[in-house]
């Protein structure tokens, strides 16, 4: 860690290089950056806001000179995993949100080259404005999350892992050098954004969940807009049927009936996602902001058939393929579940009918249910939304902040466990029951999603909500997550991603793998200034 005098010298140098407005170092301003939905805190020495790759190079040079550690964040919205907070105390945060240029969008080869501050909203707005026949692999988080930042921690969208779709990275290494991965380092390479590996060893894999450098631009894969799209929502009324549902989805995916990620959520996940949207509609209809109105929203979900587990699947292709897929999905799941299919035409008709017949209570309720489900439907067709954020506040009982844009500055607490599970129905059910039992012993309910990523593996998304105003509840929440992560590791299901408090769970000095990662750090970042302790011993 830098001495007080060297830190002051570094801050002065950064102010000269970036401009005083781009350097935050006063205690009052830094306090805002310390807030985190996970309820943790870290010592932050400064916040630096570069506007270009050149600014980042100058920041890294000064950090090496004065030995001040840096912690880059793109937008800092990794809620429940640490948000903007570094793994260790004493770092200066590099806030890359000003670096928000969309450098190129290529319609023919369906990709975008962007800086780390570019958000889902920005890129989608660009696609719509220019009427491009392209789709984005959106995530279930808010519209203002970073594309590059999410990929750097291997976030998972509604169509694929974000890490699978990033290449041609421009990276400022900890040693001060700037490199381009793939073919990008050949100035005249016309295929730099078309073939990710380049020639020679592929370095792209070093940077997602690596602490060797700062990505200042990257190529993000897009998708050609399909001829047709629909969403299938499959609901079961008994958790004992979950293995059949999982195995049916695996079989459908293996036959190519759908090629997107199937999201399978438990009752708690469905309710915290949909209930706040119904609640807002009830308020708009004139009902009071009260516990009774919130209970009415939940009752509407119960009557709507959202039982123990529900799956949402996006199906893309030709109209012929969609007709075939609808038949295949019904045949695979029809005898043990209820399945409904949504497409744009059906949604439009239902809205028109609901508006015309809103004086009929049953029709009015159905229209409200459709409006609640519509954001989930939007995910399956490549649309981002801010509505999903309401689930964070609803699950923590922070109803006054339902429309707030940032959980870090609310009363809501949030923590995640993210194990990778085999795509086996019986195994998933066993893990789900163990998870629920562990959470229950600590006094919490587990909101669980298991996302079928391919025919082999499922991403587990297990979230825990708590009230950050209650110190004892926050202590119990962290104890619950600690135990749950340890149990997953013991059972042989390591997480694919961890928060700032859990690096010790996955990084081990006795493991030759992590010693090799540390040796790479010594070469690429010899002064260990980039994100110390993040997925690394150093």
* 282 close to 274: Cβ distance less than 8 angstroms: no
* Structural domain includes residue 399: no
DSSP code of residue 419: B
Buried b (16+ CB within 10 A) or exposed e, 326-353: bebbeebbeeebebebbbeeebeebeee
Q: Say if residue 202 is in the same domain as residue 247.
A: no
Question: What pLDDT, in 10s, does the model give residues 361-394?
Answer: 666 777 788 888 888 889 999 999 999 899 999 9
**What average pLDDT does range 136-155 have in this prediction?**
95
Give the C-alpha separation, 13 to 264, whole Å. Answer: 51
Q: What is the CATH number of the domain that holds 45?
A: 3.30.43.10
Range of the domain at 51: 4-98+520-524
pLDDT at position 327 is: 96
Instruction: State whether 206 and 292 are in the same domain.
Output: no
> 367 with 233, same domain?
yes
Record the tokens describing residue 341, joined without a space. Answer: 């299919």
What mean pLDDT comes out for the span 410-430?
A: 97
**Residue 530 falls inside a structural domain:** no
Q: Number of folded domains in the chain?
A: 4
Q: Is there a single domain that holds both residue 372 and residue 426?
A: no
Q: In degrees rounded to 5, what are phi and psi of residue 522?
A: -65, -30
- Per residue in 316-336, pLDDT tens? 999 999 999 999 999 999 899
376 and 437 part of one domain: no
Residues with Cβ within 8 Å of residue 232, at least 6 apart in sequence: 258, 311, 312, 313, 315, 325, 326, 329, 339, 340, 341
SS3 category, 46: strand
φ/ψ bin of 467: left (φ > 0), alpha (ψ from -120 to 50), beta (otherwise): beta
Q: What's the average model confidence in pLDDT over 161-184?
A: 97
Identify the pLDDT of residue 370. Answer: 82
In this prediction, residues 83-93 reach a mean pLDDT of 97
Contacts of 325 (CB under 8 A, 6+ apart): 230, 232, 257, 258, 315, 317
What confidence category does residue 354 fall into, taking pLDDT thresholds of 50, 70 and 90? low
Report the 10 Å Cβ neighbour count for 488: 24
Q: Are residues 153 and 77 in the same domain?
A: no
Contact (CB, 8 A) for 493 and 418: no
In a domain, 510, yes or no: no
What CATH number has the domain bearing residue 180? 3.30.465.10
Average pLDDT over residues 106-116: 98
Asked if the structure places residue 429 within a domain, the reply is: yes
* 535 contacts 211 by C-beta, under 8 angstroms: yes
Separation of alpha carbons 95 and 79, rounded Å: 16
Identify whether residues 80 and 161 lie together within a single domain.
Answer: no
Same-domain status, 257 and 202: no
Domain check: are 12 and 107 in the same one? no
At residue 363, the pLDDT reads: 65
Identify whether the C-beta of residue 406 lies closer than 8 Å to the C-beta of residue 390. Answer: no
Same domain flag for 234 and 373: yes
Other CB atoms within a 10 A radius of the CB of residue 438 amount to 20
In a domain, 444, yes or no: yes
CA–CA distance, 2 with 339 (Å, rounded to integer): 59
396 assigned to some structural domain: no
Q: Does the pLDDT at position 1 exceed 70?
A: no
The one-character DSSP state at 187 is T
| 259-308 confidence digits (pLDDT tens) | 999 999 999 999 999 999 999 989 988 999 999 999 999 988 888 778 89
Closest residue by Cα to residue 155 from 261, 60, 244, 242: 261
Give the bridge partners for 113, in sequence order: 104, 219
Of 224, 239, 255, the last residue of a domain is: 224
Classify residue 363: in a domain, yes or no.
yes
Alpha helices (runs of H) in 84-169, residue ranges in sequence order:
120-129, 147-152
Do 109 and 212 lie in one domain? The reply is yes
DSSP string, 319-386: HHHHHHHHHHHHHHHTTTSEEEEE-HHHHHHHHHHHHHTTTSHHHHHHHHHHHHHHHHHHHHTT---S
Residue 398 lies in a domain: no
The mean pLDDT of 165-170, rounded to a whole number, is: 97
Whether residue 422 sits in one domain with residue 297: no
pLDDT value for 467:
96
- CA 157 to chain centroid, in Å, comes to 7
- Return d(Cα 176, Cα 61) in angstroms, integer: 6
Rounded percentage of the chain residues whose pLDDT exceeds 90: 87
């Amino acid at each position: 860690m830098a001495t007080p005098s060297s830190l002051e010298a570094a801050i002065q140098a950064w102010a000269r290089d970036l401009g005083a407005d781009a350097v935050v170092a006063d205690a009052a301003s830094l306090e805002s950056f310390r807030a985190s939905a996970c309820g943790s805190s870290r010592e932050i020495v400064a916040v630096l806001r570069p506007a270009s790759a050149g600014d980042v190079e100058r920041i890294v040079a000064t950090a090496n000179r004065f030995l001040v550690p840096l912690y880059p964040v793109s937008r800092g919205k990794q809620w429940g995993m640490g948000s903007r907070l570094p793994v260790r105390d004493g770092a200066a945060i590099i806030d890359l949100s000003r670096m928000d240029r969309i450098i190129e969008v290529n319609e023919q080869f369906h990709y975008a080259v962007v800086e780390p501050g570019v958000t889902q909203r920005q890129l989608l707005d660009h696609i719509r404005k220019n009427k491009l026949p392209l789709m984005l692999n959106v995530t279930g988080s808010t519209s203002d999350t970073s594309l590059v930042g999410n990929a750097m921690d291997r976030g998972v969208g509604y169509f694929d892992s974000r890490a699978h779709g990033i290449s041609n990275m421009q990276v400022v290494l900890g040693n001060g050098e700037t490199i381009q991965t793939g073919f990008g380092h050949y100035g005249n390479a016309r295929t730099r954004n078309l073939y990710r590996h380049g020639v020679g060893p592929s370095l792209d894999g070093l940077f997602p969940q690596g602490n060797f450098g700062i990505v200042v631009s990257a190529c993000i894969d897009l998708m050609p807009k399909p001829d047709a799209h629909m969403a299938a929502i499959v609901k079961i009324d008994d958790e004992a049927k979950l293995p059949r549902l999982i195995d049916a989805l695996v079989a459908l995916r293996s036959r190519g009936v759908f090629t997107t990620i199937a999201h399978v959520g438990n009752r708690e996940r469905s309710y915290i996602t949909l209930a706040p949207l119904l609640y807002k509609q009830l308020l708009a209809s004139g009902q009071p902001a009260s516990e009774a109105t919130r209970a009415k929203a939940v009752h509407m979900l119960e009557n709507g058939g959202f039982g123990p587990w529900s799956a949402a699947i996006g199906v893309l292709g030709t109209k012929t393929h969609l007709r075939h897929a609808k038949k295949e999905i019904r045949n695979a799941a029809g005898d043990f579940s209820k399945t409904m299919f949504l497409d744009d035409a059906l949604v439009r008709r239902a809205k028109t009918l609901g508006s015309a017949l809103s004086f009929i209570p049953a029709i009015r309720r159905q229209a409200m249910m459709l409006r609640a489900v519509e954001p989930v439907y939007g995910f399956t067709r490549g649309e981002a939304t801010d509505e999903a954020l309401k689930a964070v506040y609803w699950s923590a009982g922070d109803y006054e902040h339902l429309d707030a844009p940032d959980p870090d500055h609310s009363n809501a607490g949030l923590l995640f466990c993210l194990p990778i599970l085999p795509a086996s129905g019986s195994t998933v059910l066993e893990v789900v029951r163990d998870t629920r039992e562990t959470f229950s012993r600590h006094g919490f309910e587990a909101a669980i999603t298991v996302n079928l990523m391919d025919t082999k593996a499922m991403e587990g998304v297990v979230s825990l909500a708590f009230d950050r105003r209650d110190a004892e509840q926050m202590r119990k929440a962290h104890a619950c997550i600690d135990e749950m992560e340890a149990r997953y590791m013991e059972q042989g299901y390591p997480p694919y991603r961890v928060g700032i408090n859990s690096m010790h769970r996955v990084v081990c000095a006795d493991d030759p793998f992590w010693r090799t990662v540390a040796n790479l750090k010594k070469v690429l970042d010899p002064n260990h200034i980039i994100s110390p302790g993040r997925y690394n011993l150093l």
